[in-house]
Structure 1
Amino acid sequence: MGLPAWRIRNARPGSDSTRRTETAEGSSESGVRGAMQSTVSFVLDGELQTIDFRTSAHLNPTTTVLNYLRGLAGHKGVKEGCAEGDCGACTLVLGELGAAGRISYRSVDSCLVFLPMLHGKQLITVENLRGKSDQLHPVQQAMVETNGSQCGYCTPGFIMSLFSLYKNSNKPSREAIDDCLTGNLCRCTGYKPIIEAAAKSCVDGGIDHFTADEHRISKLLKTISQESVRIETERQRYLRPASLAEALSIKHQRSGAIVICGATDIALRVTKGHELLGEIIDLSDLPELKTISESASSISIGAGASFSEIMPRIEGVFPALHAMLAVFGSQQIRNLATLGGNLGTASPIGDTLPVLIAYGAKVVLESLNGLREIPIDQFIVGYRKTMRKEDEIITSVIIPKLTPAAIVKSYKVSKRKDLDISTVSG
C-alpha cells in the first residue's frame, strides 16, 4: 500500500480580521487574525529542526513524537510499550522557554504527544544526555553504578524521568523519587537500585551540560515564530491558533473540529483506536488558557493549565482536589493533562469530577457569541456528553473557596494507588 501524497497549504495573512482565505475544499474561513505558517520548528540534538509536511510524506499531524523518533536515525532509545501512557518506556523531556527566559524541563509520554505539539520547544532524548564530551550524564552513571538496568527495554524511559527529576529537584526526598518513577514500569530489575540511582545522582542542583548550553538553546527557541500554524494533508487539517480570539474565530467556523489541550485522552483514539482525526484545533500553548488567578472568594484555573502547574497553586486552598490530582496518572501525564480536557471529554473515568462538584465549581465557556458559566454538576449531561455548544471552548474553571466551617474530602478506590483509573471515586 503506497504512502498518501501529503500536501500543506499556507494561509495567507489578511489585511484585517475579516480577510477571507480559501481552504483546500473551496470553502472560506473568516475572522482569523494574523499570519499562519505551515511548518513546525523545535530544537533536537541541540539544533533547530523544521518539519515541512510537503516534503515529509510519511508524517501527518497526528504522528506521535514516539513514532517520529523511531523513524529517525540515531534515536532508537525511546521505546513503545503500551501506546497509552502507562508504562513510561517512551518517556522524553521537553524544554520550554519561560517568561524569565529560563528553560524549564518536564517529562512526558511521547506516545501521547502529536508531532506539531513540539513547535517552539526543545526535545531531549536519552541520546542527548551524554553531550559533546561523550561522558555519561550523572543519572546514567548512577544507573550503571547501582546496576539499575537488566533487560534494558524500560531503561531509557527511567533515565529520562530521572533526568527530569535531576533538573527540577536537588536532594529529593524518597517520596519525591517514588512520585517521579510512578509513570515508569520495570518488570525485571525491581525499583530498589533505580531509587538508589535517583538519590545518588540528584545532588548537584541540576547542573550539567544542558545548564552550560541553556543560553544558546534559549536563543534558538526565541527564533521560532509564534505565528499560527496550519497544516493540511489530503485527509487531515491541524490548526494551532496563536491567541484565544483566533481560536474562538476558528471554532466558530469549524464547530466540528476536535479540540485538544494536552491530548492525553484524545491521543488514545489514534494510538489505540487507530482513528483518523480529520480536523484538530490545538490549544495546548495558548497563554490565555494557562492563567491561574486568585481572588478573596475563588480561584480561577485556566483550562489549559496542566495538573502539574495547578497542584502547587491549590494545595493549601483545595486540599481534597490536590489529593486527587496527586494520584492522577503519573508525572508524565500530569505534565500534559489539563482540567479543561478532563472536563471536556466527559469521560466516565474523569477523577476530578466528583471533587469539583463537591467544591461547587463552575465551567466557563466562551464563543464569539459571549461567555457562559455553568455549574459542574449541570455541565455533564451523559456519557461523553456536556452542555458545551459546538462553537464554544472551555476557557477556565472557577472554584469558590470554602467557608471556615466547610470540609471537603476526596477518595479514590483503584486496583493500585498510582497510575490507575478509579473503580470508585468521590
Structure 2
Amino acid sequence: MNNQVIQFVRCGEIMEVRNVPPTRTLLELLRDDLNCTGTKEGCNEGDCGACIVVLGEAQGEKIHYSAVNSCIRMAHSVNGLALWTAEDLAAPDGALHPAQQAIVDCHGSQCGFCTPGFVMSLFGMYQNHVAQGHAITRELAQEELSGNLCRCTGYRPILDAAQRMASLPQPASDATKTLQKLEQIAQAGQAREADFSYKSPKTLSDLLSARTQHPIAQIVAGCTDVGLWVNKLHRNFEQVLDVSGVAELRQIADQDNTLTIGAAVKLTDAFAALVANRPQLHTFATRFAGLPVRNSGTLGGNIANGSPIGDSMPLLISLGASVVLASERGQREMPLERLYTGYRQNVMAADEVLAFIQVPKASPGELVRIYKISKRFDDDISAICLALNLHIVDGQVASASIGVGGVAATPVRAVQTEAALTGQPWNPATVAQATATLRAEFSPISDMRASADYRVQVLGNLLQRFWLESQGATGINLECFTLEGVQA
C-alpha cells in the first residue's frame, strides 16, 4: 500500500488523500475516490477535453492557472498545487462564475457532455486574462480552446461565451487564501513518506541521486505520453520518478546567443520563449497539441520520449539544438539528432536524465519555417513534419539545416537535402533538385495517418511551398485566410 500523502488546495482548504497507487490518474482520483463526477471521462487519452480541470501554482505573490487533462495526469503530480473542478466555480450562494454564466447566456451547451471541460478551459482563460485586465479576442479564444472538442459542433456560441465573460460581474477572489494554504503545504514539507513508489525531487542533485539508486523507475513529467501507456496499454509502474518539480530543470536562461531550456519547462513556456525569438513559429506552437496538453507536457519529455512524430524534434534539429544529459558522473552534450538509436530508443545510460536543451538564437539572414501536416488542423498528430532553416547570403544558400518527422523510426536530419542546397544559388533549379533529393532521401511507411507515397509527395510539396514563401507568395496556406464576418 502506498502511504504517501497527497496534499492539495481545493475550495480554499487543504485536502489530503492516502493510499493512492503511483499510476492512478487524477481523473480516477476525482471521480472514483472523491466522487467529483462533474469531471467527465471522454477519450481517456487527452484529446477531447471533457476531463479538463485547472491547476494553480504559486508564482511569487500570484497564482498561475493551467487548464490540464486530468485523464492523463498522475494523481500524485498535484501534490502541493491548487485544484479546481467544475463543481468548485459557483459562489457559496449559488451565483455562477462568469465562465459558467457566459455559457448559459450564449447557449453554449448542447448535449452537455463536453461542457464541464469547456467551462474549465474558460475558467483558466478568465483567470489568466480577464482577471488580469486583458481582453479576450476571438483569435485568443480559438487558440486556448483548441484542446476542447464539441461533438455537437457548437463552437460558435462557446467562442461567444469566451468573449462575453469580461462583461459579467467579476467574482470575489480567493487567491490570497489559496496562496496561504499553498505556502502552508510547502512549509510542512509535503509530509511525504520515505517509500519510493512516487518520488518528486526538488533539486537536480536529488534527482540524479534518485536516478542512480532507482535506474528502473519510470521517469515522468507532464505524463502526456505515460498517461496513455497507463490508460490504453494498461501499464503499471511500481516506481515513478517525477522530474517536474526540479527547480533547475524548470528554468529558461536567455543568454547572448543561446536559449537554455530546462527539460521540465512546460511546452507552453518553452514555445513562448522560442516564439519570442522567432515570431514566425507562433502558428506552429499553437498547433502543437491543444493548450491543456501543452500546459502539462514538457519539452524535455517530448524529446526524451523520442516519437518519430513528435513535433518539437524536427524544429529543434533544424535550429541546431543540442541536449545535455546529466548523471552523478557528470554531464555530456550532443546534437539532438544523435540522441536516438532506434524507435523510442536513445543513448541515455540507466543513471542519466535529459537535463537541458540548448537552442541557438536567430541569426541574420536566417529563413526558418516549419510545416505540420495532419488530418485535423488543430489538436492532432502529424503525418509529416518538416522544419527548414536556411541562411541565404547574396542569393546563395550559405547553410541549410532540415529536420523531418514522420518518415523514419526516429526524428531525422535530411543531410542529403542539406548538401543539395548548401553552396547553391537560391533559385527554382536548385529547389527542383533539392525537392527530388528530399523525396528520395527517406523510405517512410504507410500507416493510419498517411501512405508512404503521400508522405514522399508532400515532403517535396512543402519544400516548394517554402520556396514560394521565400519569394513573397501569399494565399498558399491556411494562415493567410480568415473567415469573413468573424467577430475580431
Structure 2 length-normalised TM: 0.75
**Contact 2:65–2:127, Cα closer than 8 Å, also in 1:** yes
Q: Distance in 2 between matches of 1:296 and 1:216?
A: 40
**Contact 1:182–1:331, Cα closer than 8 Å, also in 2:** yes
Q: Which amino acid aligns with 2:5?
A: T
Quote the residue 2:381 is aligned against: 421
Q: Which amino acid aligns with 1:60?
A: P
Quote the residue 1:40 is aligned against: 6
Q: Cα distance 1:368–1:83, how it changes in 2: closer, same or farther (>3 A)?
A: same
Q: Distance in 1 between matches of 2:286 and 2:349?
A: 31
2:284 match: secondary structure: helix
Quote the residue 2:171 is aligned against: 208
Q: Which amino acid aligns with 1:208?
A: P
Quote the residue 2:161 is aligned against: 197
Q: Distance in 2 between matches of 1:230 and 1:250?
A: 15
Q: Distance in 2 between matches of 1:369 and 1:387?
A: 15
| 1:266-288 per-position Cα deviation (integer Å, ceiling 9, x unaligned) | 11110111111121100112121
**Contact 1:321–1:356, Cα closer than 8 Å, also in 2:** no
2:199 match: secondary structure: strand
**1:311 and 2:268 aligned:** no
Q: Which amino acid aligns with 2:116?
A: P
**Contact 2:7–2:190, Cα closer than 8 Å, also in 1:** no
Q: Distance in 2 between matches of 1:285 and 1:353?
A: 23
How much does 1:72 deviate?
Answer: 4.3
Quote the residue 2:296 is aligned against: 336
1:43 match: secondary structure: strand
**Contact 2:41–2:51, Cα closer than 8 Å, also in 1:** yes
Quote the residue 2:54 is aligned against: 93
Quote the residue 1:68 is aligned against: 29
Q: Which runs of 5+ in 2 are unaligned?
A: 387-488
Q: Of 254, 257, 261, which residue of structure 2 is paired with 1:294?
A: 254
Q: Of 142, 146, 168, which residue of structure 2 is paired with 1:178?
A: 142
What RMSD over aligned residues (CA atoms) do the two structures have, in Å? 1.8
**Contact 2:325–2:333, Cα closer than 8 Å, also in 1:** yes
How much does 1:73 deviate?
Answer: 5.2
**Contact 1:364–1:374, Cα closer than 8 Å, also in 2:** yes
Q: Cα distance 1:231–1:112, how it changes in 2: closer, same or farther (>3 A)?
A: farther
**Contact 1:251–1:392, Cα closer than 8 Å, also in 2:** yes
Q: Which amino acid aligns with 2:166?
A: C
1:48 match: secondary structure: strand
Q: Which amino acid aligns with 1:80?
A: E
Map of 1:222-261 to 2, 5 A cutoff?
222-224=183-185, 225-226=188-189, 229-230=192-193, 232=195, 237-261=197-221
Quote the residue 1:19 is aligned against: none
Q: Which amino acid aligns with 1:272?
A: K
Quote the residue 2:40 is aligned against: 79
Quote the residue 2:334 is aligned against: 374
How much does 1:226 deviate?
Answer: 4.0
Percent pairwise identity: 39
Range with greater deviation from structure 2 (102-111 or 185-194): 185-194
Q: Distance in 2 between matches of 1:348 and 1:269?
A: 17
Q: Of 209, 232, 236, which residue of structure 2 is paired with 1:276?
A: 236
Structure 1 length-normalised TM: 0.85
Size of the aligned set, in residue pairs, is 380
**Contact 2:117–2:148, Cα closer than 8 Å, also in 1:** yes
How much does 1:74 deviate?
Answer: 5.3
Q: Cα distance 1:138–1:402, how it changes in 2: closer, same or farther (>3 A)?
A: closer
**Contact 1:228–1:242, Cα closer than 8 Å, also in 2:** no
**Contact 1:61–1:238, Cα closer than 8 Å, also in 2:** yes
Structure ID, larger Rg: 2
Map of 1:154-173 to 2, 5 A cutoff?
154-169=114-129, 170-173=134-137
Q: Distance in 2 between matches of 1:96 and 1:330?
A: 20
Q: Which amino acid aligns with 1:184?
A: N
2:28 match: secondary structure: helix
More helix by share: 2
Q: Distance in 1 between matches of 2:373 and 2:13?
A: 46
Range with greater deviation from structure 2 (128-137 or 180-189): 180-189
Q: Distance in 2 between matches of 1:110 and 1:87?
A: 11
Q: Cα distance 1:168–1:7, how it changes in 2: closer, same or farther (>3 A)?
A: closer
Which structure ranks higher in relative contact order (CA pairs < 8 Å, sequence separation ≥ 6)?
A: 1
Quote the residue 1:359 is aligned against: 319
**1:103 and 2:67 aligned:** no
Q: Distance in 2 between matches of 1:192 and 1:77?
A: 23
Q: Which runs of 5+ in 1 are unaligned?
A: 1-5, 9-37, 54-58
**Contact 1:230–1:240, Cα closer than 8 Å, also in 2:** no
**1:146 and 2:109 aligned:** no
Quote the residue 1:15 is aligned against: none
Q: Distance in 1 between matches of 2:51 and 2:262?
A: 28
Q: Of 14, 18, 28, which residue of structure 2 is paired with 1:52?
A: 18
Q: Distance in 2 between matches of 1:65 and 1:316?
A: 33
Q: Which amino acid aligns with 2:328?
A: L
1:241 match: secondary structure: coil
